[in-house]
Amino acid sequence: MTTKDVKTMKIAPKVWRNGEFIDWDNARVHVMTHAIHYGSSVFEGIRAYKAERGTAVFRLTEHIQRLLNSAKVYRMDIEFSRKELCQAAVELVRGGGMDECYLRPVIFRGLNEEKPSFGVNPFPAPIDCYMAAWDWGKYLGEEALESGVDVCVSSWTRTPANSLPAVAKAGANYMNSQLIKMEAILGGFSEGIALDDRGYVSEGSGENIFLVNNGKLITPPLGASILPGITRDSVIAIAKELGIEVVETSIQRAALYLTDELFFTGTAAEITPIRSVDRITVGAGKRGEITKQLQDVFFDIIYGRRPAPNNAPWLTYVNDTEEKKTATASAKE
């Protein structure tokens, strides 16, 4: 991809690398980088929206904290604090002149070119941190937010938490996600749903999942094989504020076919309804009332039209004077 592509594809022309901004074209790693061979990376997906008061990053502090948590699990010690990474994100969005964008911070084990080490042992490899931004539309399609998507239950099982910890958003985990996604696409579906090693519903290839039954919101519990999604957490908080009961429990596969409503959540997917599973129609075969209600409130919050539950600081405005100083009101060292 060239600088010309950056302009036509609405990609921020600068990339943040280890404390400095460099040109997109210079964001390169060596072919023998440890992460390329062994999947030793952790990353985040974060969205910035054009809110009523200006461009704002959604739940920046929480995303950066999860990035640092993922790095800690894999013993990746980086020199940057949460506050510094939040500030880098704000400056990247502001400097790129983008009203809306998707941010991708990534921490990975690189290559010590003076004393290279090519084995599985990750400790000799240096730790690098990059952050890029680009304009990414609706992950599962613009029409999917209303009409929903068709999905399948994957034949691939989600990786058990005692094999690869689900709490960490690690690059290696997404090889499993790719198998799920490819199988779904080749089968004519938009997305796949994975079961865990016990046969219970886990999540999509890159999304958490919710069922709606008899007015209750039901989702698999944390601590098993699912990523602790920040959009998932947002939806739960919104539902509770609206008086919708939330139940976190194990879910059998057959429940996917029998539920009243079904939807994915995620930074990329936002809140996307599911209209069929394994070609069995879910509910009325379109977005349900509770799904729409949650969508409406969620988008009102991210566009700054209403406060987050409990007035939580979910938006970091990139052009506010105070935000320039602190990156986000709640970010601390």
What secondary structure does DSSP assign to 101-142, as a single string? EEEEEEEEE---SSS---SS--TTSPEEEEEEEE----TT-T
Q: Which helix (H) or strand (E) holds 96?
A: helix 82-96
What is the average pLDDT across 225-254?
Answer: 97
What is the average pLDDT across 168-186?
Answer: 97
Topology adopted by domain 144-302: D-amino Acid Aminotransferase; Chain A, domain 2 (3.20.10)
pLDDT tier at 10, thresholds 50, 70, 90:
confident
Give me 240's structure tokens. 């509770």
**Residue 2 predicted with pLDDT over 80:** no
Annotated catalytic residue within 10, 14, 138, 169: 169
Q: At CB < 8 A and 24+ separation, what contacts does 185-188 make?
A: 187/152, 188/150
- Confirm whether pTM is higher than 0.85: yes
Q: For strand 191-195 and strand 149-153, is the pairing parallel, antiparallel, or unpaired? A: parallel
Give me 156's structure tokens. 């691939």
What is the average pLDDT across 249-254?
Answer: 97
Name residues whose C-beta falls within 8 Å of residue 294's C-beta, 6 or more positions apart in sequence: 235, 238, 239, 242, 244, 263, 271
Residue 169: active-site member: yes
CB atoms < 10 A from the CB of 178, how many? 12
Per-residue confidence (pLDDT) for residue 320, from 0 to 100: 74
Of 20, 157, 28, which is closest to residue 91 (Cα–Cα)?
Answer: 20
Per-residue confidence (pLDDT) for residue 140, from 0 to 100: 67
CB atoms < 10 A from the CB of 47, how many? 20
> 3-state DSSP call for residue 302?
helix
User: In whole angstroms, what is the distance from residue 78 CA to residue 95 CA?
Assistant: 24
Asked if 210 contacts 234 with a C-beta cutoff of 8 angstroms, the reply is no
Average per-residue pLDDT for the chain: 92
- What CATH code is assigned to 3-134? 3.30.470.10
CB atoms < 10 A from the CB of 215, how many? 11
**Residue 283 predicted with pLDDT over 80:** yes
**Residue 323 predicted with pLDDT over 50:** no
Q: Is the pLDDT higher at 34 or at 117? A: 34
**Residue 85 predicted with pLDDT over 60:** yes
Domain map (residue ranges) of the chain: 3-134, 144-302
